[in-house]
Amino acid sequence: MARVFVRLRLRLLANSLTGSGAQLLGLVLTALGATAVAVGGFAAAASARLGDGADVVALLAAMSLVLAWFTFPLIGFGSGTTIDPKALVGLPLPRRALMTGLAAAALVGPGTAITASIMAGAVIGLAAGWATVPVLLVGAALQTLVCMALSRAITTFLGGALRSRRGRDLRVLAVFVIVLLPQTLRFFLPRAADLDELRSVTRVIGWIPLVWPTRAMVAAGGREWGLGLLLLALSVGVVALLLWWWAHSLDRLLTTAEAGASGAAREGDPTEEPLFGRALRWLPRDATGGVAARELRLSWRDPRRRVALISSILLPFIVAGAFVSSGGIDQPAVVYLCVVLVVLGGGKAFNQLGIDGSSWTVHEAVGSDLRRDLDGKAIAAATIQGVELLLVALILAVPSGGWAELAPAVLFAVALTGPQLGIGNMASLRAPIPMPTSGTNLWGSASPGDGCLSGVLVLVAMVALLVVAAPFAVGALLLPDALARLVLALVALPCGLVTYRRVTSAAVRWAEPRRPEILGKLLTRPG
Amino acid sequence: MIEMAVQATGLLKQFDRKVAVAGLDLAVPRGSLFGLVGPNGAGKTTSMRMMTGLLRPDGGQVVVGGLSVWPDPVPVKRRIGILLEDDELFGRLTGPELLEFIGLLRGQERAETRRRSEELLGILGLADDHATLIVDYSHGMHKKIALAAALLHGPNVLFLDEPFEAVDPISARAIRSLLDQHRRAGGTIVMSSHVMELVESMCDEVAVIHQGRVVASGALDEVRGPDATMEDAFVRLVGAPMSTTGNLQWLGSSSD
């Protein structure tokens, strides 16, 4: 049975390589990244020696692997190549056979390869004579099993709840918090600058049962045989406990009904204008205003856009936190960091159609005015970004005393928004990449490789934006005072607007005769 | 001479090496309800998307209401309505929000859009769900809101891909009544369906598509020919066996 599942997994992996050229490029880049992690992890773990941090490296690596196995399946990083047990619900498979097959399949793939590579490095780094090798090998194998069993158990346990629409929405937010939390905490925790401080961290980590196999390896490396063997025995217990949890969750997943749409009706006044309501009444009542209203409404309702919005709102606090923790907040020039927000915000602007995906068909079906569509999206993006950058500038001005620089900094940022959105429109039309929607398969996501490709696109567009902004940045640096910079910023404003209009016009001219092909790239199916 | 609302000539489309539509010819008389039938993968949806300006053909021509769809489909799109698939709507809008949005994209007068929206949502039984996001609609409700979106601007020609799929009998009756009204007002409907009884009861003319080509086209009686039902005629035309007896004798033989 295990062989059948492994073959199925290999087939799914092979099928993910049959995408378009662009997807393949993305996959190759993702594979290169994964290889770099595997090789780098192996080298780091293998090169450290006992007494010289091998224990610290091994425990930190093990904890990172546990966290990765815990979060990646929830994020949907598996690109649809993981077997969804729900798809097997109709087959007469005993639970033991099903679990054996799923476990064997889960152990085939890039995740296991990376884990095995890093754990192999740890075996080399911790080895203290041939006598220790068997214990180290058993420990490495158990650590891999713990990771696999944890991953399967958690996704199976949460599977039922996360399949509902609201559950999927919450998943996106939860994953975002998981990713963001370490970055935020970094500013508020003492810095682990030397080995002793790091060792004190790993001493705490070592109490977590999920890394006991690695702790057993560390003990064996230090020839503490009793402790090592005890931890190995306890690790077997941890694996057994995780497998029991997985089996129990699997039974529940396969024998209970799917959660329904659970979409409680939103509060709404039927006498109001449906799309604009009271909050958006300032928008023009035409196609441009309609697109802007839709974008602003979706910025909160669509979980993917909500994550982007929340991250933009949190960014100022993270930036301020970084400067407070580094002691560099007393410089008035810090206010200009709000301009950086515009550059970072480009990530959203550079794939404006990709976030719509198949829904862009609505625009094509009615034969909409592309220029108005893009202007509407620009109004929505500029509105959100305008509020954000004002917030950032104020937050940075208070502790730094940079009030004199506030006006020029905000104006420079607003001016840069023009080329940002213009270049964003060009990139969005020339290389639209559909963003994965949260599908019903928790274990999968859309087009593998697209995430990496999207990253490359953002990078190229950001470079173009920096080139456009360079003359004003140099000018601002050379000018003697805030007043002179304010004058330069006032000059930059119309330049930004003209750049937006010119680049957007060029983008629309290029795109008009290619609209069916652009739509084709946004659809996940042919036709 | 009968005036044609839609005329497709030699339509071609190929995806990689797979030929989806291989020289399709079609003539839809003005004011008719025209059925497009064919097995799965026959090229019905691909043909419809080429006729509505959503997919550029590799060859051939389409004329709708006297206007050539290609190379510039926008003027044609102003006159036609297209039933979009579930994932092609903005699922995070409510039904009324989607209709107002589409009205604005089409440049319609707002009060008129509002009046039509309320009427359509009422007839299609979606009025009580005015505050529910489309993503939370059932499949049948998706079909109905997509139909409302296609009808909002009062198009001359409607292109409907499987409009009755997963729709309950009460909603189906509401949809049929809407389509009847559209036809009485002089509108033309091109509709694809797998349900032969439905095609037989609703359509004036029908085209059977198989492997990207029209294998039979004309009035229902002509296409039905000597067969008792449209389903029999369909099976004969696409070359499928009429019976499967003699094979698969192992079916139902499991002893467990």
CA distances from A277 to A285, A522, B91, B103 (A): 12, 30, 18, 16
Encode pLDDT of A368-384 as tens digits. 999 999 999 999 999 98
Encode pLDDT of B188-200 as tens digits. 999 998 888 889 9
User: Residue B17's domain is classified under what CATH number?
Assistant: 3.40.50.300
Phi-psi region of B29 (alpha: psi -120 to 50; beta: other; left: phi over 0): beta
Q: Which residues of A touch B115 (CB under 8 A)?
A: none
Put simply, whether A298 touches B (Cβ < 8 Å) is yes
| Distance between B60 CA and the closest CA of chain A, angstroms | 16
Put simply, whether B71 touches A (Cβ < 8 Å) is yes
Contacts with B, A 404-423, CB within 8 Å:
none
| Distance between A378 CA and the closest CA of chain B, angstroms | 16
User: What pLDDT was estimated at residue A262?
Assistant: 47
Cα angle: A280, vertex A283, A288; to 5 degrees: 125
> Rounded to an integer, what distance in angstroms lies between the CA atom of residue A310 and that of residue A292?
19
Which two three-digit tokens encode residue A366?
């009615």
User: What pLDDT was estimated at residue A163?
Assistant: 67
Out of A273, A289, A362, closest to residue B88 by CB: A362
| pLDDT score of B100 more than 80 | yes
Put simply, whether A265 touches B (Cβ < 8 Å) is yes
Put simply, whether A366 touches B (Cβ < 8 Å) is yes
User: What pLDDT was estimated at residue A184?
Assistant: 62
Which two three-digit tokens encode residue B157?
């020609």
Q: Residue B227: inside a domain, yes or no?
A: yes
Residues linked to residue B12 through DSSP beta bridges, in sequence order = B22, B59
Domain spans in chain A, listed from the N-terminal domain onward: 2-255, 287-522
Put simply, whether B88 touches A (Cβ < 8 Å) is yes
Nearest CA in chain B to A302: B92
Are B90 and B101 a contacting pair, CB within 8 Å? Answer: yes
Residues linked to residue B189 through DSSP beta bridges, in sequence order = B33, B158
Contacts with A, B 29-58, CB within 8 Å:
45-46, 49, 52-56
Instruction: Single out the residue of A100, A82, A111, A101 nearest to residue A12, CA to CA.
Output: A82
Contact call for B130 and A274, based on CB within 8 A: yes
Contact call for B82 and A356, based on CB within 8 A: no
Lowest pLDDT segment from A31-35, A360-364, B119-123, B244-248: B244-248
Q: Which of B92, B112, B116 to mutate to test the interface with A (most CBs of A within 10 A)?
A: B92
Average pLDDT over residues A190-217: 80
> Rounded to an integer, what distance in angstroms lies between the CA atom of residue A205 and that of residue A202?
5
Is it true that the peptide bond before A408 is cis, omega within 30 degrees of 0?
no
How many domains does one find in chain B?
1
Task: Please report which helix (H) or strand (E) contains residue A298, including its range.
Answer: helix A287-301
Lowest pLDDT segment from A201-205, A356-360, A481-485, B15-19: A201-205
State which residues form the domain around B30. Answer: 1-79+191-241
How many alpha carbons lie under 13 Å from residue A29 in its C-beta half-sphere? 16
Contact call for A274 and B49, based on CB within 8 A: no
Q: Which long-range contacts (CB under 8 A, 24 or more apart) does A174-177 make?
A: A174/A74, A175/A71, A175/A74, A175/A75, A176/A307, A176/A310, A176/A311
Instruction: Single out the residue of A386, A298, A393, A294 nearest to residue A345, CA to CA.
Output: A386
| pLDDT score of A441 more than 50 | no
Tokens 């039938």 label which residue? B37
Q: Residue B157: inside a domain, yes or no?
A: no
What is the count of residue pairs from A and B with beta carbons less than 8 Å apart? 135
User: What pLDDT was estimated at residue B121?
Assistant: 94
Q: Which of A275, A286, A295, A300 to mutate to test the interface with B (most CBs of B within 10 A)?
A: A275
Residues linked to residue B192 through DSSP beta bridges, in sequence order = B36, B161
> Rounded to an integer, what distance in angstroms lies between the CA atom of residue A151 and that of residue A140?
17
Is the alpha carbon torsion for B46, B50, B53, B57 positive or negative?
positive
Put simply, whether A367 touches B (Cβ < 8 Å) is yes
> Rounded to an integer, what distance in angstroms lies between the CA atom of residue A302 and that of residue A256?
28
User: What pLDDT was estimated at residue B105?
Assistant: 92
- Which residues, at least 6 apart from B134, have a Cβ–Cβ distance to it below 8 Å? B89, B90, B91, B92, B93, B94, B95, B98, B142, B145
**Rg of chain B over CA atoms, in angstroms?**
20
Put simply, whether B96 touches A (Cβ < 8 Å) is yes
Put simply, whether A91 touches B (Cβ < 8 Å) is no
Which two three-digit tokens encode residue A370?
């592309």
User: What pLDDT was estimated at residue B155?
Assistant: 95
Put simply, whether B139 touches A (Cβ < 8 Å) is no
Q: What are phi and psi of B43, to 5 degrees?
A: 110, 15
Q: Which residues of B touch A353 (CB under 8 A)?
A: none
Put simply, whether B105 touches A (Cβ < 8 Å) is yes
* DSSP state, residue B249: T
Which of the pair, A59 or B242, is modelled with greater confidence? A59
Put simply, whether B203 touches A (Cβ < 8 Å) is no
Instruction: Single out the residue of B55, B99, B77, B104 nearest to residue A375, CA to CA.
Output: B104
> Rounded to an integer, what distance in angstroms lies between the CA atom of residue B226 and that of residue B150?
37
Q: Which residues of B touch A359 (CB under 8 A)?
A: 87-91
Contact call for A286 and B15, based on CB within 8 A: no
Are B21 and B212 a contacting pair, CB within 8 Å? Answer: yes
Contact call for A362 and B49, based on CB within 8 A: no
Are B73 and A517 a contacting pair, CB within 8 Å? Answer: no
> Rounded to an integer, what distance in angstroms lies between the CA atom of residue A409 and that of residue A332?
11
Out of A265, A302, A366, closest to residue B102 by CB: A366
Nearest CA in chain A to B18: A526
Q: Which of A20, A362, A373, A524 to mutate to test the interface with B (most CBs of B within 10 A)?
A: A362
The DSSP code sequence of B97-110 is HHHHHHHHHTT--H
Encode pLDDT of B34-80 as tens digits. 999 999 889 999 999 999 999 999 999 999 999 999 989 999 999 99
> Rounded to an integer, what distance in angstroms lies between the CA atom of residue A372 and that of residue A370?
5
Out of A274, A362, A367, closest to residue B96 by CB: A274
User: What percent of chain B is predicted at pLDDT more than 70?
Assistant: 96
CA distances from A166 to A37, A316, A457, B193, B210 (A): 34, 28, 31, 33, 42
Instruction: Assign B244 a pLDDT band (cuts: 50, 70, 90).
Output: low
Q: Residue B68: inside a domain, yes or no?
A: yes
Out of A266, A285, A359, closest to residue B89 by CB: A359
Is the alpha carbon torsion for A263, A269, A275, A277 positive or negative?
negative
Q: Which residues of A touch B99 (CB under 8 A)?
A: 274
Alpha helical stretches, state H, chain B: 44-51, 74-77, 95-105, 110-123, 139-151, 169-184, 196-202, 220-224, 230-238
Longest Cα pair distance anywhere in chain A, in angstroms?
Answer: 80
Average pLDDT score, chain A: 81
CA distances from A436 to A79, A322, A352, A359, A517 (A): 10, 32, 14, 13, 19
Residues linked to residue A295 through DSSP beta bridges, in sequence order = none
| Distance between B67 CA and the closest CA of chain A, angstroms | 15
Q: Strand runs (DSSP E) across A273-372, as ranges?
A: none
Instruction: Assign A446 a pLDDT band (cuts: 50, 70, 90).
Output: very low
User: What pLDDT was estimated at residue A353?
Assistant: 92
Q: What are phi and psi of B124, to 5 degrees?
A: -85, 5
Lowest pLDDT segment from A372-376, A427-431, A439-443, A480-484: A439-443
Which of the pair, B256 or B6, is modelled with greater confidence? B6
Span between the terminal Cα atoms of chain B, in Å: 66
Spatial strand order of the sheet with B18-29 comes to B18-29, B4-15, B59-64, B67-68
Q: Which residues of B touch A367 (CB under 8 A)?
A: 53, 73-78
> Rounded to an integer, what distance in angstroms lies between the CA atom of residue A16 and that of residue B14?
22
Nearest CA in chain B to A20: B16
Complex ipTM over 0.95 = no
Contact call for A358 and B149, based on CB within 8 A: no
Tokens 């604009």 label which residue? A276
Task: Please report which helix (H) or strand (E) contains residue B215, including its range.
Answer: strand B213-219
Q: Which residues of B touch A298 (CB under 8 A)?
A: 90, 92-93
Neighbours of A26 (CB within 10 A): 23
Which two three-digit tokens encode residue A35?
């290889």
Neighbours of B150 (CB within 10 A): 22
Put simply, whether B135 touches A (Cβ < 8 Å) is yes
Instruction: Single out the residue of B82, B247, B245 nearest to residue B160, CA to CA.
Output: B82
| pLDDT score of A315 more than 50 | yes
User: What pLDDT was estimated at residue A258?
Assistant: 58
> Rounded to an integer, what distance in angstroms lies between the CA atom of residue A481 and that of residue B87?
54
Encode pLDDT of B158-183 as tens digits. 999 999 988 888 888 889 999 999 99
Instruction: Single out the residue of A451, A438, A338, A448 nearest to residue A395, CA to CA.
Output: A338
User: What pLDDT was estimated at residue A349?
Assistant: 83
Average pLDDT over residues A297-325: 75
Which of the pair, B81 or A198, is modelled with greater confidence? B81
Contact call for B132 and A265, based on CB within 8 A: yes
- Which residues, at least 6 apart from B236, have a Cβ–Cβ distance to it below 8 Å? B225, B227, B242
Are B21 and B11 a contacting pair, CB within 8 Å? Answer: yes
| Distance between B205 CA and the closest CA of chain A, angstroms | 25
Put simply, whether A371 touches B (Cβ < 8 Å) is no
Average pLDDT score, chain B: 90
CA distances from B51 to B21, B33, B254 (A): 12, 16, 49
Cα angle: A129, vertex A131, A134; to 5 degrees: 115
User: What pLDDT was estimated at residue B191?
Assistant: 95
**Per-residue 3-state assignment (H helix, E strand, C coil) for A98-159:** HHHHHHHHHCCCHHHHHHHHHHHHHHHHHCCCHHHHHHHHHHHHHHHHHHHHHHHHHHHHHH
Longest Cα pair distance anywhere in chain B, in angstroms?
Answer: 68
Put simply, whether A94 touches B (Cβ < 8 Å) is no
Contact call for A367 and B77, based on CB within 8 A: yes
Instruction: Assign A162 a pLDDT band (cuts: 50, 70, 90).
Output: low
Q: Which residues of B touch A165 (CB under 8 A)?
A: 135-136
Instruction: Assign A329 a pLDDT band (cuts: 50, 70, 90).
Output: low
Lowest pLDDT segment from A235-244, A249-258, B3-12, B90-99: A249-258
